[in-house]
Structure 1
Amino acid sequence: MTRVVFAGPSLHGVDAALFEGFDMRPPAGCGDVLAAAMGGAEAIGLIDGIFDHALSVWHKEILHAIGQGIPVYGAASMGALRGAECAAYGMIGVGRIYEDYASGRRVADADVGVAHAPAELGHAPLSVALVDVEATLAAVRAADALPDQICEAILASARGLHFKERTWPDVVARAGLAEAAGVEAALERHACSQKQEDALALLARMRADAGEPGPVADFTLSRTGFFMKLHRRVEARLAHLVEGRGSMPV
């Protein structure tokens, strides 16, 4: 039995020793959570997920896992979004970002979005999530490292950029600030990632819960034609792997 965690940019650069005991997999796309459930996972953690250029994790995959008694945790990025959307059905949300979505304080999916490198480069983030811009500015303010008006200008600039274009140099340049190099330096000194903090909290929660009984589903999953088609495709993919023929797309 394994504890499967889907992660990428949110945990880039973290000490690999913290992953001990987990089956770490790339950001989840459509069918991946279902495959983990059908493959015998004892618990599933969803941190990062595919979107924009490919199909995202379906909610029904998560509900299927919960219905099988498998605890599903969500945090930081796609996991925080699905955690808020599926909390009523037993998904376990972790961290501040999840809480913001669950409470309605945050509503835009793009707030957690980043561009990132491929798996060969460790899914390194290539842009900065708005949630991490906000966390960094909070740290800057707490240290009194930049005036409030500059912080407000940076925040407004970050909010106006598409998530793929939101890098610190572009945020500062768009804000039209004098002494941009000094501003960037202050941001770099106080940079922090709420996404990473929440992702690590998910790993800690899964460790703490190890061995605990899974959720008791109080719903009946409607196994629609679309879901059953996905189910069959995942079955075929798993059989392909068992036969030693490598991976195949869902």
Structure 2
Amino acid sequence: MIHVFVGPTLSESEAVLTAPDVRVLPPARHGDLFDTAIGGGDTVVLIDGVYHQAPALRHKEILAVMGRGVEVIGAASIGALRAAELAPYGMFGVGSIYTAYASGEIDGDDEVAVGQAPDGEFGALTWPLVNLRHVLRLARSAGVLDGARAAGLFQALRAVYYPQRTWAAVRAVCRRRNETGFAGWLAEQREQDRHFGDLKRIDALAAVTAALDGTAAADRAAVEPPIWDTTYFRRWSNAFARTCVDGLELSTEDRLVYQQVFDPGFHERWATYLEHLSRHPADDGPVLPLAGRLARVTGGDLPETACSTPRSTCATSGRWRCC
């Protein structure tokens, strides 16, 4: 299965997104790669993602899903940015925007940022800098602009905050800089082809096509992704991994908290878990029975069931334990 995270860059009506093995998902955000429908042997095509209105997809989430045997391809938008950052760990980048990030030609997140429609349609309301730069290059090739005028116009457009860089704003900047000829030329090109200059769309289509025909897997260098298992990652996993219990979708975190509060046998399981950690320390520290480790720290007057996590504790049966 190919899971494509896409929003404003591609319309769902694109032919490549209607293939039987393609599952189209909204722009990626923190937690989306914990989806249990994404399994080993699948491919994730990361194109669009959110970051302004919600936490962005984190690097360790991508590393972890690759560690589970999922191929991850990035292109066009946040996918190109993440692919350039994680290429040494096995993420595969596609397209000219990815190449520009990987080579250092561009480095800002704002290069691919666009304002999105708030109604769930995820339509792009503004122009990203990568598309504007591409359009200006096309204008130079067509003899509409020379190098100096194109550079000045690009800097003026770049100064516009990305959620305000609409087509109307582009025309206003052109008028202010006496570049109405360029604005007219661009309007004419867009009338003939509504996708004119849309470099993000070109790269996104190439990425989905590469996933469908298998060329990404063939071209990707063999890299064994490391296992990224940190305290923070385990917390994310517990928060986003969900199981249906008696008809309710519950996170592992919610189920654990319920057990901690209401299960009378939880303190015994907690003590067993701490005993395991004490005898198998993750940091290559000393291997000790839990009672011995507690004796070194507290003098021996703290029972195993009174140990708590650093985040919170709760009072039960007159003593403190994990909550």
Find out whether 1:192 has 2:197 as its counterpart: yes
Q: Report what 2:212 is aligned to.
A: 207
Find out whether 1:131 has 2:92 as its counterpart: no
The offset of 1:95, in angstroms, is 0.5
* C-alpha spacing 1:38/1:169, structure 2 compared with 1 (3 Å): closer
Q: TM-score, normalised by structure 1?
A: 0.85
Q: Report what 1:67 is aligned to.
A: 67
Say if 2:40 and 2:68, in contact at 8 Å, map to a contact too: no
The offset of 1:34, in angstroms, is 2.8
Question: How far, CA to CA, are the matches of 2:37 and 2:91 in structure 1?
Answer: 14
* C-alpha spacing 1:212/1:199, structure 2 compared with 1 (3 Å): closer
Say if 1:154 and 1:171, in contact at 8 Å, map to a contact too: no
The amino acid across from 1:9 in the alignment is P
* C-alpha spacing 1:67/1:243, structure 2 compared with 1 (3 Å): farther
Q: Secondary structure at the match of 1:74?
A: strand
Q: Report what 1:17 is aligned to.
A: 15
Question: How far, CA to CA, are the matches of 1:211 and 1:29 in structure 2?
Answer: 23
Question: How far, CA to CA, are the matches of 1:183 and 1:143 in structure 2?
Answer: 11
User: How many pairs align?
Assistant: 242
The offset of 1:217, in angstroms, is 4.8
Gaps of 5+ in 1: none
Q: Secondary structure at the match of 2:42?
A: strand
Q: Report what 2:49 is aligned to.
A: 49
Q: Secondary structure at the match of 2:29?
A: coil
The amino acid across from 1:223 in the alignment is D
The offset of 1:189, in angstroms, is 3.1
Question: How far, CA to CA, are the matches of 1:145 and 1:224 in structure 2?
Answer: 54
Q: Report what 2:240 is aligned to.
A: 234
The offset of 1:228, in angstroms, is 0.6
Question: How far, CA to CA, are the matches of 2:233 and 2:160 in structure 1?
Answer: 36
Q: Considering only aligned residues, what root-mean-square deviation do their CA atoms show, in Å?
A: 2.9
Question: How far, CA to CA, are the matches of 2:207 and 2:130 in structure 1?
Answer: 17
| Percent of paired sites with the same residue | 33
* C-alpha spacing 1:193/1:173, structure 2 compared with 1 (3 Å): same
Tell me which structure has the larger Cα radius of gyration: 2
Q: TM-score, normalised by structure 2?
A: 0.67
Deviation string for 1:145-182 (max 9, x for gaps)? Answer: 345554333212111111111123213323413373x5
Say if 2:30 and 2:58, in contact at 8 Å, map to a contact too: yes
The offset of 1:71, in angstroms, is 0.6
Deviation string for 1:11-42 (max 9, x for gaps)? Answer: 13x64322123101000000112326755671
Deviation string for 1:60-90 (max 9, x for gaps)? Answer: 1111111112110000000001001110000
The amino acid across from 2:15 in the alignment is A
Q: Report what 1:218 is aligned to.
A: 224
Say if 1:128 and 1:166, in contact at 8 Å, map to a contact too: yes
The offset of 1:10, in angstroms, is 0.8
Q: Report what 1:30 is aligned to.
A: 30
* C-alpha spacing 1:103/1:31, structure 2 compared with 1 (3 Å): same
Question: How far, CA to CA, are the matches of 1:202 and 1:115 in structure 2?
Answer: 22
* C-alpha spacing 1:37/1:108, structure 2 compared with 1 (3 Å): farther
The offset of 1:234, in angstroms, is 2.1
The amino acid across from 1:98 in the alignment is Y
Q: Which has the higher contact order (CA 8 A, sep 6+)?
A: 1
Q: Report what 2:168 is aligned to.
A: 169
